[in-house]
Amino acid sequence: MDKGKWIAVVTCLLLTAAAYIGSTGLFYTEYRPIRNYDLVAFAASWTGLIYMLIRDKNKKDR
């Protein structure tokens, strides 16, 4: 993986952590269970990133 892909993965990790903390109130208020909507959003964003990485890898193989 090149530098751009690593930046995308790290950015996605940081955004996921920030969204999780914001959604659950972890570390700053009373803990709230994570909502199903948030789980779907996390899964969709990570699935999209993985799809883009695989698609880009397949394009380079040709």
Residue 58 CB-half CA count within 13 A:
6
pTM above 0.95, yes or no: no
Task: Say how many domains are in the chain.
Answer: 1
- Distance (Å, whole) CA 43 – CA 16: 10
Flag whether 37 is in a domain.
yes
| pLDDT reported for residue 14 | 92
- Distance between CA 43 and CA 37 in Å, rounded? 10
- Whether 45 is in a domain gets the answer yes
Write the pLDDT tens digit of every residue in 7-57: 889 999 999 999 999 989 988 989 899 889 889 989 999 999 999 889 888
Residue with tokens 């199903």: 36
Domain of 41, in residue numbers: 3-55
Q: Which pLDDT belongs to residue 5? A: 86
Spatial contact of 49 and 9, defined as CB atoms under 8 Å apart:
yes
| Within-domain flag for 12 | yes
